[in-house]
Each structure stands twice: as C-alpha cells, then as structure tokens.
Amino acid sequence: MSESVSNPTLRAECEEFLYHAAELLDDRKLTEWHDLVTEDIDYRVPIRTTRERSNTTEFSDTSFHMKEDWGTLEVRTERMQSDFAWSEDPPSRTRRHVSNVRIVDDDGEEVTLKNNLLIFRQQGDETDPDILSMERHDTLRRTDEGFKIAERRVLLDHTIIPTNTLSIIL
C-alpha cells in the first residue's frame, strides 16, 4: 500500500466522483453514467447464498445478477431509456446513499476502494420503499477526462432480491 492510502485529499476526490456517478443514476442520466466507465470495464454482481459460518465466502464465482462489459452496459442503459421499457415507466424514484469510502490502494494509475451503498427505491403509489443494501469494491482509473470505473464488484446484503426488478444500475 502506498502512502496516499491515508490521504484525505484522495478520499475526498474519490467520494466526489462516486457522488457524481450516483447523482447521474438518480437523475436517470444513464448515457452520461455510461460515459464514466472504461471500455474494458468488468462489472459484476455475484449471487449470494446463505452458508454456514465456516464457509469462506457466500458469493458465487460462477453465477451473477449482473455480469457486464462496456457493450452490455450500453445495451442496458439504452434500453432503460426506451419509451417501451415498462419496468421503468413510470420510472423508479431512487436515492443512492454512498458512504464509508475506504481507499484500499493507489498505484498512481488506478485507485481501488470500498464503499457502502444504500438504495431507496419506490415506484408509483408505493409507500413501502424497496431498500437495497450493498458494499461495492471499485477500481477507479485516472484518465484525461478524470476518474472512470474500470472494475466494480457489488456485494449485496441480500440472497433473495427484495425488489420486483433490477432495472436500475447498482
């Protein structure tokens, strides 16, 4: 680990980036969000199962809720903005709460970090929100246009997804 790990300026920069990316998703600016991922992005949301405590991991390495590259994220973000994407019309009202940002490493080119994400989601006249809770392990790459997401691993706090559809980006 390099010295910058405990660098509050770096953490603030990363936080600012994560807040901005979250705002784009909450505001349904999906194409602009897609511009924030690198062309070689590896984006995964592994399936979690309830295991005995003695097990080393609860996350699958072969099965996923999402396993995306640049192209499939483009398909998804374009589709979600179609006039015929019924699961998002009327659209979900989402609020992403990003917190607990922890810098893991910085090699000068890429910063790896962990952060927590709580998504509030409501649709239509629902009064009970769907709450999705997760930890994200992100790799942010420094580019000419600023940070971009090169890798994201979303570790859900759910085995059974408690919302009708994952027609939102995590």
Partner 1 sequence: MSHGIDESQSTSQTEFGRVKALLERMGETLEDGEVPMQILNDDAVHQLELERIFGQTWVYVGHESEVPEPGDYRQRTIGEDPFIFVRGEDGDFRVLFNSCRHRGANVCRAEKGNTSHFRCPYHGWTYKNTGDLVGVPQKAAGFDHLDAEERGLHEAPHVEEYNGLVFACVAPEVEPLEEFLGGATWFLDMYFDLIDMEVIGDPHRWEVENDWKTPTENFYGDNYHIPMGHKSAIDAGVGSDTATGEKESNLYGIADCDGHGFSFYQIESEEDSYWGHPPEVVETFNHDALDDDQHEVARKSGVTLGTIFPNLSFIFLGGRDDPEKDSVGTFLLRKWEPRGAGKMEVVNWILAPKDASDEYKERVYEVGMSNFSPSGNFEVDDVGIWYGIDEAAGSVFARQNDDVNTLFTMGRGENPAATVYDEWVGPGTAYLEGGMTDENQLDFYRTWHEAMTSDGGM
Q: Is 157 in the site for partner 1 (CB under 8 A)?
A: no
CB of 68 to partner 1, least distance (A): 8
Give pairs for 96-104: CB < 8 Å, separation 24+: 96/22, 96/25, 96/26, 98/15, 98/18, 98/19, 98/22, 101/11, 101/14, 101/15, 101/18, 103/4, 103/5, 103/6, 103/7, 103/10, 103/11, 103/14, 104/1, 104/5, 104/137
Q: Are 91 and 110 in contact (CB under 8 A)?
A: no
Residues 109-148 that bind partner 1 (CB under 8 A): 124
Report how far residue 155's alpha carbon sits from residue 110's, in angstroms, rounded to the nearest whole number. 21
**In this complex, which beta carbon is closest to partner 1, that of residue 25 or of residue 113?**
25
**In this complex, which beta carbon is closest to partner 1, that of residue 10 or of residue 80?**
80
Convert residues 84-103 into a mask of x (bound to partner 1 by CB under 8 A) and - (unbound): xxxxxx--------------
The residue within the footprint of partner 1, chosen from 5, 118, 155, 161 (CB under 8 A), is 161
For the record, the structure tokens of 82 come out as 């179609």
The residue within the footprint of partner 1, chosen from 3, 8, 39, 55 (CB under 8 A), is 55
CB of 131 to partner 1, least distance (A): 13
CB of 58 to partner 1, least distance (A): 9
Residues that bind partner 1 (CB under 8 A): 45, 47, 49-52, 55, 60-67, 69, 71-72, 75-76, 78-80, 82, 84-89, 124, 159-167
